[in-house]
Amino acid sequence: MLIFDMKPGKKMKEKDTQTGQTNLFQNQFINHLNLDDELIKLSEMIPWHLFEEAFGAYYSETQGRPRNPIRLMVSVLILQHMYGFSDEKILKIWTHNPYFQYFSGYEELQWEIPADASTLVKFRKKIGPRGMEVIFNSTITMALNSGFVNQKECESVIVDTTVMEKNIAYPTDSKLCQRAISRLGKLCKKHNVSLKQSYKYVSKKAMNKSHRYAHAKQYKRMKNSNKKLKTYLGRLARDIERKIKGSDKVDYFAKALEAVNRLLQQEQKDKNKLYSMHEPEVSCISKGKAHKKYEYGNKVSIAITHKQGLALNTKSHAGNPYDGHTLNEVLQEVNEKIPTEVKQVFVDRGYRGHKIDYCDVFISGQRKGMTTALKKKLKRRSAIEPHIGHMKSEGKLRRNMLKGRIGDEINAILCGIGHNLRLLLAWIAWLFSCFRFFIPLKSFFKNFRVDWVYIFFKI
């Protein structure tokens, strides 16, 4: 389990969610909700005290207003990624759903939104990727303690990579140049830098012309419009550099001017090109899909158990590394999270050249040294694909709305947390459906003294 390396500080007093006494004018949830609901059972399995101890050190006792309860913030993040809601939507639905409120530790119905959407943003930044790992590790521990998976099943894993797209517009040269001009113009207005010409309107006109020429397949005219936009952008950047030279405003423009110079110098076939002004870390990744040739984001490695599909690791990688070069890092992190060590790994052909020697790695299409049992296991390697599909359709792996490189890491881990808890939720619902079916059978078979059926169902 990952532990923070900070010194334990005094925890700030938080707002109370449980009063310990009944309200004369309002009934408690325990009198109205179905206590056999799978979400309520899941809330009883989650070690909330662990999050209080781990995240309480981030808050001061003397500064700021009383913090929101850590259980509330963690539960809202969990529910958000279990059901794929945005920050604003999860808080709105939270006020309408009493099961969500009970899951967050409240005893009575709340009529007001518990926090602003910006509070969730600040909480994610405060605990960071390492805090998300604490929540992720707790989901694996819950799955092991509840019997959903056992230690032996964690020894065989399936690993694959996918693309987590970033929340950016489709990049074109004309659009990037126009956005850069607009961004520099706003910075100049904010820091009182007078310009010779802002190029605000002429750049927009040139961008629209470029789009129309491209639609009409008049590519020579399109290139002339793009060249004109680059000329405008170069003039504006040089004008700003002259105006701010030797002043204290250089730091405010440094990041934007660096991106502009990178945009002006890049050519069509260059590597590591700039695809977004506000997300310069975005990479162009081609996975060979017929319906989508290029995706703009970053690569995410996913490791799941071979049988149940429990996510043991979801790691975001900067840029577009070769799959085989990421396998060692992923397996090392998986071994830290599980009580045993990985012995068998099943991957696709993109992992050839992995150089892993401390466990057995089986690649799709492999024939050498394969027994009948290993062939069956390797045939199941493609079972990871629907799990990735569920993370994208039900979770938030399809498009990452969080900013920056840290946002990539946080979103990837949260998608793994949501996936594991969805599996546990479905498993709890299946268990209770079995209990409702088998309990009447127990009395029926006991009356007819069919002992072998009773033993088989272990009732």
Has this prediction a pTM greater than 0.85?
yes
pLDDT digits (tens, 9 = 90+) for 279-293: 999 999 998 888 889
- Among 127, 29, 109, smallest CA distance to 73 is for 127
Q: List all residues 6 or more positions away from 318 whose beta carbon is below 8 Å from its beta carbon.
A: 281, 298, 405, 408
pLDDT at residue 347 tops 90: yes
Q: Which helix (H) or strand (E) holds 433?
A: helix 404-447
pLDDT band at 449 (very low <50, low <70, confident <90, very high): very low
pLDDT at residue 14 tops 80: no
Half-sphere exposure of 436 (CA within 13 A, CB side): 8
What's the token pair of residue 146? 């509840």
What's the token pair of residue 449? 């003294």
- pLDDT value, residue 111: 86
Phi, psi of 159 (to 5 degrees): -125, 135
Least confident of 7-16, 86-95, 342-351, 354-363: 7-16
What's the token pair of residue 100? 């969500």
Angle value at C-alpha 30, between 142 and 90, nearest 5 degrees = 60
pLDDT digits (tens, 9 = 90+) for 307-323: 999 999 999 999 889 99
Give 150-187 as a DSSP string: -TGGGGEEEEEEEEEEES-PPP-HHHHHHHHHHHHHHH
**CB-CB contact of 350 with 323 (8 Å):** yes
pLDDT digits (tens, 9 = 90+) for 249-264: 999 999 999 999 999 9
